[in-house]
Amino acid sequence: DVKVTQSSRYLVKRTGEKVFLECVQDMDHENMFWYRQDPGLGLRLIYFSYDVKMKEKGDIPEGYSVSREKKERFSLILESASTNQTSMYLCASSSLSGSLYEQYFGPGTRLTVT
C-alpha cells in the first residue's frame, strides 16, 4: 500500500526558531511536494523536487527552504519561524512512470508558531 509519512502531526514552535518538517515516502517516487493549507485558500505549493538534490520553487517559497538528500525523504525548513507560517503542511509524492500527476499525500503536520 502506498505510504507517505510525516514526522509530526502537531508541532508548536516559537517565533524565530528553526523548524524542520520531515516527509518520507516508500513508493520509490521521483517527485515530492510540500504544500501549505489554509482555510479558503486550498493547497498552495511551496517547493517541489523532481529528483535527489534537485528542487524548484512553487508559488509561495518565501521563508522556506527544502532538502532532498535521499530519494525517499523530502524536508521542509523554516529558517526563522514566524506567526504567519502557522498552518497545515502537507507532503505529497508522485511517480514519473505511474499514473501521471496523481499525487499521494501524507496526513499533514499542523504547525503553530507562537
Partner 1 sequence: AQSVTQPDIHITVSEGASLELRCNYSYGATPYLFWYVQSPGQGLQLLLKYFSGDTLVQGIKGFEAEFKRSQSSFNLRKPSVHWSDAAEYFCAVGARAAGNKLTFGGGTRVLVKP
Residues that bind partner 1 (CB under 8 A): 4, 31, 33, 35, 40-45, 48, 50, 58, 90, 92, 94, 96, 99-108
Please report how close the Cβ of residue 20 comes to partner 1 at its closest, in angstroms. Answer: 19
CA distances from 61 to 27, 41, 48, 76, 99 (A): 26, 16, 10, 10, 27
Rounded to whole angstroms, the Cα distance separating 47 from 1 reads 25
Going by the DSSP 8-state scheme, the letter that residue 71 receives in this structure is T
Q: Which is nearer to partner 1, 27 or 45 (CB)?
A: 45
Q: Which is nearer to partner 1, 16 or 107 (CB)?
A: 107
Please report how close the Cβ of residue 19 comes to partner 1 at its closest, in angstroms. Answer: 20
Please report how close the Cβ of residue 16 comes to partner 1 at its closest, in angstroms. Answer: 28
CA distances from 58 to 12, 65, 66 (A): 25, 11, 11
